[in-house]
Structure formats: structure tokens, C-alpha cells
Structure 1
Amino acid sequence: MLDDQDRRLLRYWQADPSLSPGELAERCGMTPGRAARRIARMEEAGVVEGLGAVINWSALGYSVEVSLRVTLDKTQGNAFDSFLAEARKVPEVIEVQTFLGRVDARLSIIARDMAHYQEIYRARILTLPHIADIEALMHVARIKSEETLPL
């Protein structure tokens, strides 16, 4: 689906998302119109889902990150759907993943400090529906956080 020129566009764009279409086209050795058409085609195909700001939440005073591995009570037919719907409503939950296996979901939670985390955990997490078990993993260090693809 992608040819070498598409991959080149994506490589440069991943490396520097602030590049203008003209700068991107120049670096890729093509006209701005051609680059724009290729980008539009990749957006329409769902290859490029959008652009956004990456916000450093620790710079905003959030110093605690906890990963919760959640096992649901699957005797209820709607356990996954209702749990996920309610988990999405918790503002401090910055990521929700689902799995096959013993662990059904993982929630990534940020908090200002441990007291704030305890408040979130007691008031918002423990009240989520259909939880059978929770295991908390305290985030210590982020060793690698890469969203660019090897194109």
C-alpha cells in the first residue's frame, strides 16, 4: 500500500511533526502539491490518524503514575462494556488497554502525589463496575517511550 515516497514522507514527518508541507516536500524531493496529495491519501486510508500536541504531564504537577492490572468478574455478560465505559470517564486514567488472559484490562493513572492517587483509587477506581481483582504497579522510570515506526 505504501511506496518508498510515502515511507520517506512519513519518516521525515515522524522525526519533525512541525515541518510545513512545503518543508516536508523539499526534504523528500517532491513538489508541495504531490506531497499534499500523498498525505491526504494516507489520511483517507487511515495511515495517518491525526496530529496532536504531546503534553508533559509531569510539568503540570503530576508526579505519580500507576499501572493497574484489572481482572473482571466475567460472570456478568456486560462486564467488559460497562467497566470500559466507566473507566473512560475517570479524567486521571490516561490509557486503557484490554487483554486476553488472566488480566482483562490495564489502566494507566496519573496523580499529583500519593495522597491524590489514594483519593482517585478509593473514590473512582474501586467504584468501577465488575472488578474481581486489581494489581497495582508503581511506575518508577520510563526507559523508552517511542511512538515512531521503523519505516
Structure 2
Amino acid sequence: MPDATDRRILRQLLADPGIANAELAERAGVTPASLWRRLERMRETGTIRATESRIDWRRLGYEVEVSLRFTLDKTDPRAFDDFIAAARRVPEVTEIQTFLGSVDLRLSVIARDMAHWQQIYRESILTLPHVTDSDALMLVSTIKDVQELPL
């Protein structure tokens, strides 16, 4: 379990993932050597799994984001595996999630514009296997998007 110093380090990493180790050590109140040991331990234990970049798709020309919810035909034992394999092959699918309840899966899909969305929908989404029901929600705005937990 992370101690108070580990939590300070994690808070700083969440606030500024690209921070240099020297600056991180200073902000967390530890020496660079201590910081290195703590980071290595947190990586080894899986507390820190990766340092990742978050891409703003809109800045790359993808103006449309759609969340699709699917219910699958659960009488077919391959339904989930087949659906997920097919969804992974759609380049514009940025996220695949599975759920318990009336919705089985959710896909996040990005498109350059509405014409591109229609092309993706007709050529890739409608052809996904084992779908018994689907629902689409188009993103209008993001009010809160944080990856932080209160540490």
C-alpha cells in the first residue's frame, strides 16, 4: 500500500505526467535517488502500469465522437469473442468496454465529420456480428474528464 510519500509522488505524476524526475523529486520532497527507488517499486508492484499520452482527437481532425451501446445474442457462445475481434479491426474504435446488465458492450468511435461517421457506421458498425440491439449517443461536450483519484 502506498505511503504518504508515494501518494505525493502519484499526485504530482497525475497532475503533470511529463514532469522531469528532478522536478518530481523536488515537488514530492524526496531525493532523486529515493524517487527513482520508489518509482521502480511502484512499477514492479503494478501501482504504476504505464506512462501514457492522451491524444486530443479533435486537434487531429476528428470532430465527431459517438458512444455505441450493444446488446448481443447470448445464445451463441462465441458472440462476445466474435464481436470484440471484429470491433478491434475498426480503426476508428478507440475504446471497447464490457458490462453486466442490459448493455453488453460499449464502443467509443471517432470520425472526421458526419459523412465519415455515416461511412464508418454503414461499412463497419452495422456489420458487427451477433448484435440484437444497439443505441448511439453522440458526444456534444465533455464537462469533466479526469484520470485522478483523491490520493
Q: When the two structures are superposed, what TM-score results if normalisation uses the length of structure 2?
A: 0.96
- Matched AA of 1:42: M
Question: 1:79 Cα shift?
Answer: 0.7
Describe the superposition over 1:19-72 as per-residue Cα deviations: whole angstroms up to 9, x where unpaired. Answer: 211111111111111111111111111111111222111011111111111000
* Aligned mates of 1:100, 1:92 — CA distance in 2: 24
- Matched AA of 2:10: L
Match of 2:91 in 1: 91
* Aligned mates of 1:58, 1:5 — CA distance in 2: 37
**1:132 and 2:132 aligned:** yes
Match of 1:52 in 2: 52
Query: What residue ranges of structure 2 are gaps of 5+ in the alignment?
Result: none
* Aligned mates of 2:81, 2:112 — CA distance in 1: 29
Describe the superposition over 1:92-150 as per-residue Cα deviations: whole angstroms up to 9, x where unpaired. Answer: 01111111111100111110111111110111111111111111111111111111121
- Matched AA of 1:21: N
Q: Determine helix, strand or coil for the equivalent of 2:37.
A: helix
Match of 2:7 in 1: 7
Query: What residue ranges of structure 1 are gaps of 5+ in the alignment?
Result: none
Match of 2:42 in 1: 42
Q: Determine helix, strand or coil for the equivalent of 1:69.
A: strand
* Aligned mates of 2:51, 2:73 — CA distance in 1: 37
Identity over the aligned pairs, expressed in percent?
A: 59
Q: Determine helix, strand or coil for the equivalent of 1:121.
A: helix
* Aligned mates of 2:28, 2:36 — CA distance in 1: 12
Q: Determine helix, strand or coil for the equivalent of 1:101.
A: coil
Q: Determine helix, strand or coil for the equivalent of 2:26.
A: helix
**1:30 and 2:30 aligned:** yes
- Matched AA of 2:84: L
Match of 2:147 in 1: 147
- Matched AA of 1:32: P
Q: When the two structures are superposed, what TM-score results if normalisation uses the length of structure 1?
A: 0.96
Q: Say what the alpha-carbon RMSD is for the aligned residues.
A: 0.9
Show structure 1 runs of 4+ deviating over 6 A. Answer: none
